[in-house]
């Protein structure tokens, strides 16, 4: 072989090796893994980091997605555990005066009379309250003709908390468009989710639809939910059908109640205790910040999303990460959580053998189909107008091709965030024609974990230590 041919072959080989090394060094990745992680989950990150180190290579990058900002409100002073929002009692003196939840000042010109069925309004308690009276709407302001019942249900178990019966011979005390009766006193604790229902609506005793009610939250003692309840064909006693509205305060003028704040200890003592709690919590946050910065400098595998730590901010947290991710060169992005087992080797093998026909416009995951919206609790959805979500992948593990990440980045200012990052992704991608590849090896539940799993969720720290390898020094 002539010398110049040999030299050319060596030159080509050298260029290839240089290009390969350049691509690895400068961010041409086969897979980038992004793991949503709570600020204080130091042990989870340590176990996952050490458990995956043998699976990582120059073309696989691992990043933990962590909120840059802590929630400075102690958990006991928040409206609920899913938002960084102060409850009533954490930012002002407790107001012990009587409050009326729903009432009308005027009847609107476009009102609707509803003359059959049972109707309800839902609320959540942010600070303990005492129920004093239950009330009902009296449209003609001439008393009750038949019989109406106002029932306060515990939404969680559908038990009756308290009730009042209004009849023609026992109408109660008149106040504006409403009649009120004393109710059996109950303390409703913080976090209580209640449904206030009027039963027995008729032609003689209708309720008012399209009403622009005034909702008195007592300065934040309660939160009113933006829908009303009505009976469906399958309901026996509790109106289970939820009707959303957006153009008024409560839509249905029907049931009402009066309440006051409840405090079971001396104000001075409570203020002192709260001050001590805030001081202790602030010290915890300060120590947490120091540990995070040390971890970041030591491992350089944390992405700090400029959001405040809370469950409701997870979609925004992911949008921040997509912005960073879009600037990278990669084939696929794997999203998971810091309580999940991840089999990187198996995922890479799957990608190698199933993507010979292209790597664009693809989402791998285990998809939820026709998944119903919740109206309370962790997954409460108040912004998406539908009974069910479009298909979305379980958040414990899904793969996005590079072009989909880029599409999200380019449209980030047009995308509305919803209650969770997984349902938000499904809603966003429903606007475009995406190839959804369902693979149940991306487990949606912990119970489905086995040797074939790509990802599986809801593991304790002990589970993670076991699944990532009992023979490894991972903790």
pLDDT value of position 264: 57
Q: What percent of the chain has pLDDT over 70?
A: 86
What mean pLDDT, rounded, does the chain reach?
A: 84
pLDDT value of position 23: 36
Q: At what angle do helices 314-326 and 402-410 cross, to 10 degrees?
A: 110
For residue 43, name the pLDDT band (cuts at 50, 70, 90).
very high
Q: Average pLDDT, stretch 262-272?
A: 57
Q: 61-70, 88-97, 140-149, 255-264: which has the minimum mean pLDDT? A: 88-97
Secondary structure in 3-state letters for the chain = CCHHHHHHHHHHHHHHHHHHHHHHHCCEEEEEEEEECCCCCHHHHHHHHHHHCCCCCCCEEEEEEEEEECCCCCHHHECCCCCCCECHHHCCCCCCCCEECEECCCCCCCCEEECCEEEEEEEEECCCEEEEEEEEECCCCCCCCCEEEEEEEECCCCEEEEEEEEECCECCEEECCEEEEEEEEEEECCCCEEEEEEEEECCCCCEEEEECCEECCCCCCEEEEEEEEECCCCCCCCCCEEEECCCCCCEEECEEEEEEECCCCCHHHHHHHHHHHHHHHHHHHHHHHHHHHHHHHHHCCEEEEEEECCHHHHHHHHHHHHHHHHCCEEEEEEEEECCCEECHHHHHHHHHHHCCCCCCCEEEEEEECCCECECCCCCECCCCCCCECCCEEEEEEEEEEHHHHHHHHHCCCCCCCCCCHHHHHHHHHCCCCCEEEECCCECCCHHHCCCCCCEECCCCHHHHHHHCCCCCCCC
pLDDT value of position 51: 93
pLDDT tens per residue across span 137-161: 888 888 888 899 999 999 888 889 9
Q: Average pLDDT, stretch 347-356?
A: 86
Whether the pLDDT of residue 169 is over 90: the answer is no
Tokens found for residue 289: 């910040």
Q: Average pLDDT, stretch 89-97?
A: 49
Whether the pLDDT of residue 176 is over 90: the answer is no
pLDDT value of position 363: 96
pLDDT tens per residue across span 180-191: 999 887 889 888
pLDDT value of position 13: 42
pLDDT tens per residue across span 279-292: 888 889 999 999 99
Q: What percent of the chain has pLDDT over 90?
A: 46
pLDDT value of position 270: 59
Q: Average pLDDT, stretch 398-415?
A: 96
pLDDT tens per residue across span 82-92: 889 877 554 44
Q: Residues of 236-268 as b/e, b for ≥16 C-beta within 10 angstroms?
A: eebbeebebeeeeebbbbbbbbbbbbbeeeeee
pLDDT value of position 293: 96
**Residue pair 347/45 in contact by the 8 Å Cβ criterion:** no
What's the rounded Cα separation, in Å, for the pair 255 and 120? 7
pLDDT tens per residue across span 286-338: 999 999 999 999 999 999 999 999 999 999 999 999 999 999 999 999 999 99
Dihedral of CA atoms 419, 423, 426, 427 in degrees, nearest 10, equals: -30
Whether the pLDDT of residue 18 is over 60: the answer is no
For residue 277, name the pLDDT band (cuts at 50, 70, 90).
confident
Q: Residues of 41-59 as b/e, b for ≥16 C-beta within 10 angstroms?
A: beebbbbbbbbbeebeeeb
For residue 171, name the pLDDT band (cuts at 50, 70, 90).
confident
pLDDT value of position 5: 44
For residue 104, name the pLDDT band (cuts at 50, 70, 90).
confident
173-175 vs 455-456, strand pairing mode: unpaired
Q: 80-94, 218-232, 383-397: which has the minimum mean pLDDT? A: 80-94
């Amino acid at each position: 072989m002539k010398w110049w041919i040999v030299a050319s072959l060596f030159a080509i080989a050298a260029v290839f090796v240089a290009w390969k090394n350049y691509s690895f060094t400068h961010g041409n990745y086969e897979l980038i893994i992004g793991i949503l992680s709570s600020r204080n989950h130091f042990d989870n990150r340590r176990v996952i980091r050490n458990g995956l180190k043998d699976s990582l290579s120059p073309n696989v990058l691992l990043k933990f997605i962590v909120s840059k900002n802590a929630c400075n409100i102690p958990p006991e002073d928040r409206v609920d555990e899913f938002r960084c929002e102060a409850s009533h009692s954490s930012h002002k003196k407790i107001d012990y005066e009587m409050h009326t939840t729903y009432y009308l000042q005027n009847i609107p010109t476009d009102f609707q009379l509803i003359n059959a069925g049972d109707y309800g309004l839902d609320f959540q308690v942010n600070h303990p309250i005492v129920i004093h009276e239950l009330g009902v709407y009296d449209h003609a302001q001439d008393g009750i003709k038949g019989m109406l019942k106002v029932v306060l249900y515990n939404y969680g178990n559908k038990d009756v908390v308290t009730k009042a019966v209004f009849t023609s011979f026992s109408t109660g005390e008149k106040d504006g468009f409403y009649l009120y009766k004393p109710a059996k006193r109950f303390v409703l604790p913080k976090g209580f989710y209640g449904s206030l229902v009027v039963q027995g609506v008729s032609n003689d005793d209708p309720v008012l639809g399209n009403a622009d009610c005034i909702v008195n939250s007592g300065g934040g003692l309660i939160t009113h939910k933006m829908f009303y309840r009505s009976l469906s064909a399958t309901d026996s006693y509790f109106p289970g059908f939820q009707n959303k509205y957006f153009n008024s305060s409560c839509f249905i003028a029907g049931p009402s109640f009066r309440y006051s704040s409840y405090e079971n200890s001396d104000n001075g003592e409570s203020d002192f205790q709260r001050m001590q709690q805030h001081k202790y919590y602030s010290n915890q946050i300060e120590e947490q910040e120091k540990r995070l910065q040390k971890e970041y400098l030591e491992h350089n595998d944390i992405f700090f999303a400029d959001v405040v730590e809370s469950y409701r901010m997870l979609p925004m947290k992911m949008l921040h990460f997509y912005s960073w991710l879009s600037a990278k060169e990669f084939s696929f992005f794997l999203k998971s959580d810091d309580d999940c087992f991840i089999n990187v080797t198996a995922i890479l093998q799957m990608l190698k053998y199933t993507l010979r026909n292209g790597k664009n416009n693809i989402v791998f995951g285990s998809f939820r189909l026709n998944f119903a919206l919740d109206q309370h609790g962790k997954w409460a959805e108040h912004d998406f107008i539908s009974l069910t979500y479009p298909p979305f992948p379980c958040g414990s593990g899904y793969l996005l091709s590079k072009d989909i990440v880029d599409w999200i980045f380019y449209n980030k200012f047009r995308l509305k965030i919803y209650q969770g990052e997984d349902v938000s992704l499904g809603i966003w991608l429903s606007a475009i024609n995406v190839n959804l590849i369902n693979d149940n090896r991306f487990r949606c539940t912990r119970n489905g974990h086995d040797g074939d799993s790509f990802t599986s969720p809801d593991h304790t720290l002990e589970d993670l230590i076991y699944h990532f390898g009992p023979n490894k020094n991972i903790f």
